[in-house]
Amino acid sequence: MTTTEKVTLLISIIGALAWLPQLFDLFKSQEILGKIISRYDNFNDKQSFYLYKLSLFSKNKPFHLKQITCTLEYDDGQKFNDTARNMRYVIFNGNEELQVLGKEYINNFSILPNDTNIEGYLFFCYDFSNRTSKIIKTTFTFESYDDKVRTLSFEEKYIDGKQLFYDDSIWKKKL
C-alpha cells in the first residue's frame, strides 16, 4: 500500500468515526423522568378532582405526546384511572376558581423535547368521593403517536409533603 493510499484510508476511517456519536444516539433508550411539584385534591358528592403540577424531562430523545393517563392505587387495593382533561371552569373548596390557562396543561403539549425540563399541570377527575383509604402510588402513563408508552410512578411514602410547592396564584376567590 502506497503512502497516498494509507493517508486516504486513515482519512476515511476518521471520517467514518465522526458518525459514531449519531449512531450511539440511535441506540440510547428514551425515558421520561420527573417529579411532582404540587398536588391539589378536592371532592364533591360524586367525584374527586386532582390537579398536579409536574416537572418533566424526556431523556435522550424527544417524546411525541398523544395522551396522558393517571392511575391512583389505594391501600385498600383499589385502582382508579383517568385521562388528563382540560377544564374550562373548575371550583375547588366551594369558592376557589382555578386560573390555569390551557397552554399550561402538559396534555396540550405535542412534544416533550429531549434533554429539556418542562413544567406544567395535569387535571384528572375520578368517579369517587372523599375516600377514607390512602393513596400509596400514583402512576402517569405517557402514550406517543407512534405507540410508545412510558410511565412515571411515585410511591406516596417517598413524597415529602414539605417539598411540594403550593402556588396560591392559580386560584381566584369566587364572589
Residue range 145-160, pLDDT digits in tens: 999 999 999 999 998 8
53 residue type, one letter: K
Helix (H) or strand (E) holding 32: strand 31-43
pLDDT for the residue 22: 65
Position 68 pLDDT exceeds 90: yes
Convert the pLDDT of each residue in 69-99 to its tens digit: 999 999 999 899 999 998 878 888 888 888 9
28 confidence band (pLDDT: 50, 70, 90): confident
Q: Where are the domains of the chain?
A: 29-173
Q: What is 29-173's CATH number, 2.60.40, 2.40.50, 2.60.120, 3.10.20?
A: 2.60.40
Judged against a pLDDT cut of 80, whether residue 65 lies above it is answered with: yes
Nearest to 153 by CA among 165, 135, 141: 141
Nearest to 49 by CA among 98, 109, 106: 98
Virtual torsion, Cα 154, 112, 91, 69, nearest 10 deg: -50
- Residue 130: the pLDDT is 66
Exposed / middle / buried, residue 91 (Cβ in 10 Å: 0-12, 13-18, 19+): middle
Average pLDDT over all residues of the chain: 88
Q: 167 to each of 19, 49, 98, 154, how far by Cα in Å?
A: 47, 17, 11, 21
The one-character DSSP state at 145 is: T
